[in-house]
Structure 1
Amino acid sequence: MPREIAPAGLRERKKEETRQRLLEGAAHLFKERGFEATTVADIAAYANVSVRTFFRYFEGKEALLLPDSVGIFAYVEDALARRPADEAPLDAVCNALLEAAEPFAASTLTALSHPVQGIENVVTARLVQAFSDFEERLTVLVERRLPPRTPDADLTAAVIACAALSAVRAVLRTRRARRASGLTDTGPEALHKALATLRAIGSADRRTS
């Protein structure tokens, strides 16, 4: 008798459940044993899957430190593509970042601001590389939105892209510093404040130019 094939929707739900178990297992074990002492086999066993299955979802345990970074950046790209064509490039990027932060604020952004003790350097290195890679991609997307024959369009686009992502990094850095000092975490509204500051600077520059 042929094996019954699960509907596509059910397969996707099961895949997401497995992925979440792996993420939860990694978070628990990293905190309990430390990053270096936790193996891929440990994480797989916690999630009740094989090591082979683990590698279908993640390239290694390091990938679990920033599991949704790729998803965030892809969401930013999609959100930017939906912004009105006549919107100022800086405003478009800021609005896209704010939209992208919504579905990820409770998971990845919080994890980035509250890294597991003892692996801050590993997380920071991966985060710096992830932002650097996306800065190049975002620069290309911003340049496409600039008016035709914009002087030094490549430089203008790079400044906008790097400034916007620097605002995000500033939020993460500030939240970590405040938490380490025992101060109240500013929460998700910090990104709104940071991007508002950036836009205010941009507006002042446009008025004086």
Structure 2
Amino acid sequence: MKELSSPVGMRERKRAETHARIQAEAMRLFLERGFDAVTLDDIAAAVDVSRRSLFHYFESKEEIVFSTKAEFPRLVAEALGRRPADEPLMDMAENAMIEMATLHIPAQARNYARLIRDTPALRAGDQAKYEYVERLSAKVMAERKGLPENDLACRVTAATAVGIIKLAIEAWLTKGGPKLDVFIKDAFAALRNVAVVDHRRSSAKKTK
């Protein structure tokens, strides 16, 4: 005999479906008209819910946009957690970021990233998200290495990796073409090249 879904399970599923519809319709409107031109009433009408009901799912337009990136910190942390503990820190960060960009970038990610970049009201919140990813990444790398949570090398590596992600996304938006992971690889390669060149120059000065 087929088991019936519990009322709690049905409510949770219905809530998740409504949450997804609001997010999808709102992002469609934002991309079509621009973030500032869309009101909460517009979104409620598109989803056929009341404005009051809309607030049960999202408190603001900004929250809707950032909900599309809600999984980003967790995905980065999990990718770092899968890296070998004996892998050099910079390699650990690069490989985790490449995994995240290769496996977890949705089809509309470029359009969403462009919307955030071009909307002043969204940029501050986006920066806060990156700062959280930086702190979380440093913590996970320290755990993998068996180091204190505030280890300086892990914090520097995490800050560098997040900076590279931001630069890679900007290049991805500006130049188009290759997938995001290609720009990430190029940015890490550029960093390593700078380090090698600076080391050679420093060594040459010491031998003079």
Q: Same fold (TM over 0.5)?
A: yes
User: 1:68-107 maps to which residues of 2 (within 5 A)?
Assistant: 68-107=68-107
In structure 2, which of residues 161, 176, 184 is the aligned counterpart of residue 191 of structure 1?
A: 184
Distance 1:199 1:52, change over 3 A: farther
User: 1:57-72 maps to which residues of 2 (within 5 A)?
Assistant: 57-72=57-72
User: 1:127-146 maps to which residues of 2 (within 5 A)?
Assistant: 127-146=126-145
> Structure 2: 5+ residue runs without aligned partners?
204-208
The CA deviation at 1:62 is 0.6
SS of 2:172's partner is helix
Contact 1:72 1:101 in 2 (8 A): no
Distance 1:128 1:52, change over 3 A: same
1:145-175 Cα shifts (integer Å, max 9, x gaps): 44659xxx73212210011111110012223
Equivalent residue, structure 1, for 2:48: 48
Partner Cα distance (1:124, 1:37) in 2: 17
The CA deviation at 1:46 is 0.9
Partner Cα distance (1:5, 1:147) in 2: 44
RMSD: 3.5
> Structure 1: 5+ residue runs without aligned partners?
179-183
1:170-191 Cα shifts (integer Å, max 9, x gaps): 012223333xxxxx43333322
Of 153-162 and 52-61, deviating more is 52-61
Give, as a single letter, the amino acid of the residue that structure 2 aligns with 1:124.
R
The CA deviation at 1:202 is 6.4
Equivalent residue, structure 1, for 2:6: 5
Equivalent residue, structure 1, for 2:21: 21
Task: Give the structure with higher Rg (CA).
Answer: 2
Give, as a single letter, the amino acid of the residue that structure 2 aligns with 1:194.
A
Contact 1:80 1:96 in 2 (8 A): yes
Equivalent residue, structure 2, for 1:115: 115
The CA deviation at 1:85 is 1.5
- Normalised to the residue count of structure 2, the TM-score between the two structures is 0.74
The CA deviation at 1:135 is 1.5
SS of 1:106's partner is coil
Distance 1:49 1:203, change over 3 A: farther
